[in-house]
A = this chain, B = another copy of it.
């Protein structure tokens, strides 16, 4: 079993979709990544920061999934990061209504001593300076460092972001972000430019259109499972990243062929995430359901043309 260090937000989300709206519920990239990774046989720790307004049951939930929470700083009298957003009818775009950084504004991540030797590091979407700090605290370069980021950091902290990008093995971003980062419209060309910035593996997420994994001239594609309805996309990208890194950690195999499997596992878990609000589906998910849906992914993509 590999150790997996996850850095990411543990937060309050408040979500509105055409199907309804939530109150303040558990959210955050770190949360979604952790819940997804915990579906595999890993020794995972989340590094994060919250206020003491976060219900204890949320942290207990993470602990109950065998996620080490000693790296989640609880600031007495502090308020937890809060995000509120509203999805449009097509569910592909959303408006952020409120962002309150709160304790996140002064986040100095501290990797627990017994996780500084982790083989796998998953840098969830956060300020790149925070991500850099986590990498700096590791005893040695991890076997695999995976970075998730977004256009917000390209606009506001590009120099720091480039430093992180130069130090990771895998980057996961969406198609528009890949275009912005590379200045290339074609995703094939974009991936090549991003390779040159550091990462040997470039994962480009296309939402309902699936995800591409590039490793120089090798390309793999995983579709999103065609769903009757997407109920709430919040956390799908984080769940994908958590499934990816968790599967890699549990199999201890960073070959390209195993990354294909990891991409499928991430897509599989993300297909559940969007079925209910927030983390609801992810905390009520059985191994049998996961396996059954993997069978669907196989049926969806595997074919048998004989190439004589």
Which residues of A line the B interface, CB within 8 A?
A: 90, 185-189, 206, 209-210, 212, 218-221, 223, 226-229, 257, 260-261, 264-265, 291, 294-295, 298-305, 307
Contact = CB atoms under 8 A, between A and B. Distances in A.
Nearest to A308: B291
A250 to B, nearest CB: 12
22 contacts: A186-B227, A187-B226, A188-B226, A189-B229, A209-B210, A218-B299, A219-B299, A219-B300, A220-B300, A220-B303, A221-B223, A221-B226, A221-B300, A221-B301, A260-B304, A261-B303, A261-B304, A261-B305, A264-B305, A265-B305, A291-B307, A294-B307
B264 A303 contact: yes
Contacts of A229: 186, 189
A226 B215 CA distance: 13
Given A189-B228, A212-B226, A261-B305, 5 more contacts: A221-B300, A260-B304, A264-B303, A295-B307, A301-B303
Contacts of A90: 185
Copies per complex of this chain:
2
Overall SS of chain A's interface: mixed
Contacts of A185: 90
Contacts of A221: 223, 226, 300-301
Contacts of A291: 307
Q: Which 10 A-B pairs rank lowest in CB-CB distance, beginning with the nearest?
A: A209-B209, A260-B303, A221-B223, A188-B228, A261-B305, A188-B226, A221-B300, A301-B301, A186-B228, A261-B303
A267 to B, nearest CB: 11
Contacts of A218: 299
A90 B185 CA distance: 8
